[in-house]
Structure 1
Amino acid sequence: MLIFGAAVARDRAWDVAVELAERVGAPVWAAPASERAPFPEDHPLYVGGLPFATGPLAERLRGHDLAVIIGAPVFRYYPYVAGPYLPDGLRLLHITDDPAEAARAPVGDSLVSSAGVAMQMLVGALRRDRREPEALTPQEHRMAPHPPTDATAADAVMSARQLFATLRSACEADTVLVEESPSNLADLHAEWPITEPDSFYTFASGGLGWNLPASVGIALAESDSGRRRAVVAIIGDGSFQYSVQSIWTAAQHGLDILFVVPRNGEYAILKAFAELEDTPGVPGLDIPGIDFVALATAYGCHGVRASTPAEVAAEVAAARDRSGPTLLEVAINAAVPSLL
């Protein structure tokens, strides 16, 4: 199996990654908690993202004799779930451009190299004929480490999945997606597959607060470079509080960026951790009463609300025609995901 990480995207090496995968006919996984999409998610060899806990990850690797990891650490873990690093009988080979990653890898043999250069050399060393791949069943939730919730909309409140499906259909095909809504990650990836390089950004390892200011920087780069692709930042109502002042910078620079806040009124991802650790009822994880439209107005952005798919689609179109940043607040039903 091949496991690709964010360095493949940073090296602009999607094409050679596809060539390598097709030559060996191997299933392709995204490394746990990748901050960039390392492989086109509509490719027939792509399976999805690996879980970021020791035991479940080892189980996912079971049945293979060789795992080649390129452009990612070995491995990023988040919740502690006991288990071996690797299943019996699996050999792990690791290629990274970060010597520190190579030094701290707990298992496997590491080589320090650019991901793109190493893959080009591997492709050149392989036989010209291609191995026919086995039939694969891709994960519906693609890069996300856990499956979507089964939540459906209640009354007039949209589900996260309804919202993301509407956004994907309403946004331009080459939109750059920035994501920090961890409790809704699986629903987002189920509805918004990443099929073009350099079109998806998120935090590297679960540290909240990076993506909102990063989306401003990405929009600045799109403007300065002349590409001017649309930038959509989907930031949960909990995550939004970590660096809310970033939208002021977007307003000061007149950036055409759409901030979407799925508002479920809770820190759902922390509730998921509480359930995993068998400590339900942790206080302070409900966050009702925040007026994101008022916050947007105070920071100089255009703020709007939508409550139906039709309203969301209309507001996306209006934001596209409007100069400067727009914040779109959408109430969604509360649902606590499984972390694994």
Structure 2
Amino acid sequence: MSCSVRDAFIEQLRLFGMTSVFGNPGSTELPMFRDFPDDFRYVLGLQESVVVAMADGYAQATGNASIVNLHSAAGVGHAMGNIFTAYKNRTPLVITAGQQARSMLLGEPFLHADQATELPKPYVKWSSEPARAQDVPAALARAYHLAMAPPRGPVFLSVPVDDWDAPVDATQPLAPRSVSTAVRADPALLDKVANALADADRPGLVVGAGVDRDRAFAETVALAERHQARVWVAPMSARCSFPESHPLFAGFLPTARHGIRGCLDEHDVVVVLGAPVFAYHVEDAGPHVSEGTAVFQLVDDPASAAGTPVGTSVVTSLRLGVRDLLGGPEPKPRSSPQRWVRPPRVEGQNELSEELLMQTLADLRPETSIVVEEAPTTRRAMHDHLPFDQPESFYTCASGGLGHGLPAAVGIALARPEQQVIALLGDGSSMYAIQGLWSAAHESLPIVFVIVNNQGYAAIDEFARHFGVGKPVGTTLTDIDFAGLARSMGCVGTVVRRPDELTTALLDALASPTPTLVDVHVR
């Protein structure tokens, strides 16, 4: 008794709960989709980088791996920027790519992939082109479990086009549906961290995206309150892992060594949760922390633990590790630390600013809404005026690359149809993946796309001053009709140029049943 590789593969996807396939069709992938099952959904993106980012957002929002289908070497090449971002985001993706028929590979046929498994490295956890067609379903099972194992991330399968119709023994049981992925830390090391926290005079926590990824948000709040520890956000953290309106919230760490050292100098013990806290963006010198500050790190990535330059690192699933810390010794009595003072509201502005835009968004957005951000220049204003207080309420890319935010918002909206999704995008960054607007319209997703339009790559202008470049080239971006682009792809598009237009435009967008782009021109 036999069935086709395709039938076994599809059944594996069904067992793993991966029935939404993100792709852009190509010739060498067509046999994979013969007799496409009715209980599956094909989510079409108009470019492969858009496809990967949509799948990334969907996987982050569902907590399960997404299946992505790319077209041979060219499609993987197009997608590499967002494969890199998925790797940095720790997003579980199973990426498949078509390959020419096995009988043709020695002749370097058109649209084949030479050394297909090498192309996505090093930004996939595993890369394989199975030696036999019959091994493709088992390779999928291995790929899925590896993608879901901590630290999560993308994996890659290259599948020759003639494999899909090959017979496979249907009497062989499918690979197990579940594999334990939780990592429990060395109890002695966790005891060391718990004792240090209990004995500290001025404890501090640093939280990163790993807390929210492992759904340890509530446990982290409880840990901070138990120890009256101020809580910092790790540099460029890609998720909300602590409520920013909480009295113990301390602010956002910068990406420079002296800045981090200065912020953490007030603490005698710092416990880092789910973050590589010493992720610098500019060159600097001096110690990572002051001599009187002891650093401990809980992280699910052995490589991150090994690369942390100071302190004691404990490899553990964050939720399990924080729960163990909550069972540690009773802390010494401490007074409440000084509360972080948020900048005052902006009032009476005669022209649009990023600060006013962020404040207005904070006032109007639903409490349960999700913000997906890719507006680097606006991040400071966002930190000051647009706080996030709920788990899984904020997403941005951990790689620093552009072209992720707009399509990631599409994937998140597909996964969370009951929640309002707002994509907060720079004018420059939005153009890396503007095709995602079509997918939002095609899927009838009521996303609000807010373009922070400063008519240039303002982040590059800021870095030019850091490097002493007085006149950077190529940073002006004018004459793009974002609202017109949105309308051409099936979305509503509107332009805001004055402060008195902003509230009405955002309220209309939030109430719209269709995707809406609001192009906000800021000074």
Structure 2 unmatched ranges of 5 or more: 1-203
Residue 132 of structure 1 corresponds to which residue in structure 2? 334
CA-to-aligned-CA distance 1:241-293 (integer Å, 9 cap, x gap): 11111111111111110000011111111111111111121111111111101
- Separation (CA, whole Å) in 1 of partners of 2:457 and 2:318: 36
The amino acid of 1:124's aligned partner reads: G
Task: Identify which of 226, 231, 237 aligns with 2:427.
Answer: 237
Greater shift in the superposed pair: 294-303 or 132-141:
132-141
CA-to-aligned-CA distance 1:121-151 (integer Å, 9 cap, x gap): 1111132x6743443141537xxxxxxxx9x
Residue 87 of structure 1 corresponds to which residue in structure 2? 290
- Separation (CA, whole Å) in 1 of partners of 2:348 and 2:367: 30
Relative to structure 1, is the Cα distance of residues 320 and 63 closer, same or farther in structure 2, using a 3 angstrom cutoff?
closer
Residue 441 of structure 2 corresponds to which residue in structure 1? 251
- Whether 1:175 aligns to 2:369 is yes
Task: Identify which of 257, 262, 265 aligns with 1:59.
Answer: 262
Larger radius of gyration: 2
Over aligned residues, Cα RMSD in angstroms?
2.1
- Separation (CA, whole Å) in 1 of partners of 2:303 and 2:283: 22
Residue 401 of structure 2 corresponds to which residue in structure 1? 207
Identity %: 39
Task: Identify which of 466, 469, 482 aligns with 1:279.
Answer: 469
Residue 505 of structure 2 corresponds to which residue in structure 1? 315
Greater shift in the superposed pair: 262-271 or 308-317:
308-317
Task: Classify the secondary structure of the residue corresponding to 2:310.
Answer: coil
The amino acid of 1:234's aligned partner reads: L
CA offset at residue 95 of structure 1?
A: 0.7
CA offset at residue 65 of structure 1?
A: 2.0
Relative to structure 1, is the Cα distance of residues 200 and 14 closer, same or farther in structure 2, using a 3 angstrom cutoff?
same
What's the TM-score, normalizing by structure 1?
0.88
Contact 1:76 1:205 in 2 (8 A): no
CA offset at residue 39 of structure 1?
A: 0.4
- Separation (CA, whole Å) in 1 of partners of 2:337 and 2:482: 46
Relative to structure 1, is the Cα distance of residues 91 and 289 closer, same or farther in structure 2, using a 3 angstrom cutoff?
same
- Whether 1:108 aligns to 2:311 is yes
- The count of residues paired between Structure 1 and Structure 2 equals 319
Contact 2:456 2:475 in 1 (8 A): yes
Contact 1:157 1:331 in 2 (8 A): no
- Separation (CA, whole Å) in 1 of partners of 2:508 and 2:266: 50
- Separation (CA, whole Å) in 2 of partners of 1:139 and 1:179: 23
Relative to structure 1, is the Cα distance of residues 104 and 202 closer, same or farther in structure 2, using a 3 angstrom cutoff?
same
CA offset at residue 320 of structure 1?
A: 3.1
CA offset at residue 69 of structure 1?
A: 0.6
Q: How does 1:293-304 map to 2 (within 5 A)?
A: 293-304=483-494
What's the TM-score, normalizing by structure 2?
0.58
Residue 411 of structure 2 corresponds to which residue in structure 1? 217
Residue 163 of structure 1 corresponds to which residue in structure 2? 357
The amino acid of 2:389's aligned partner reads: T
Contact 1:176 1:231 in 2 (8 A): yes
- Whether 1:31 aligns to 2:234 is yes
CA-to-aligned-CA distance 1:210-230 (integer Å, 9 cap, x gap): 21111111111112xxxx111
Relative to structure 1, is the Cα distance of residues 319 and 124 closer, same or farther in structure 2, using a 3 angstrom cutoff?
same
Higher relative contact order (CA 8 A, sep 6+): 1
